[in-house]
């Protein structure tokens, strides 16, 4: 095909090639802008994913802490002879009982709950 191509291109062909080059340049610019926009979106989504992972980890830690505290409450209820911790309000010792066992400064009657 190259052997059959003319050695000189005319004005019309030159104009067409220039228009094609300009369209390709505009397409390249547009696509580059779209890629930058997609990269920005990807970074935002990645940052959000990291934040959500941190929140999940925090919630899992809180859940484990609550389970541990609930286990302590259940053990305490069994020790006191109560059947179900969840069915009744926690027993509040009287002021004399609090002074007697040294738990007046701690809420909840001095149960060993994990902070």
Residue-range domain boundaries for the chain? 10-46
C-alpha dihedral (23, 25, 30, 33), degrees to nearest 10: 180
33-55 pLDDT per residue, tens: 999 999 999 999 999 999 999 99
Mean pLDDT split into 10-residue runs, the chain, 115 residues: 68 88 98 98 98 98 97 91 59 50 45 51
Give the predicted TM-score (pTM) of the model.
0.49
Rounded-to-integer distance, Cα 107 and Cα 109, Å:
6
Residue listed under structure tokens 């009744």: 88
- Write down the number of H helices and E strands in the chain: 2, 0
Q: Give the list of residues 6+ apart from residue 76 with CB closer than 8 angstroms, or none.
A: 85, 111
């Amino acid at each position: 095909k190259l052997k059959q191509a003319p050695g000189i291109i005319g004005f019309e062909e030159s104009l067409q090639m220039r228009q094609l080059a300009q369209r390709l340049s505009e397409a390249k610019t547009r696509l580059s802008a779209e890629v930058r926009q997609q990269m920005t979106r990807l970074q935002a989504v990645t940052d959000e994913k990291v934040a959500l992972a941190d929140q999940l980890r925090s919630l899992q830690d809180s859940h484990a802490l609550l389970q541990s505290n609930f286990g302590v409450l259940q053990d305490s209820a069994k020790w006191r002879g109560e059947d179900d911790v969840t069915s009744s309000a926690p027993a509040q010792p009287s002021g004399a009982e609090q002074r007697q066992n040294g738990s007046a400064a701690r809420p909840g009657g001095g149960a060993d709950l994990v902070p």
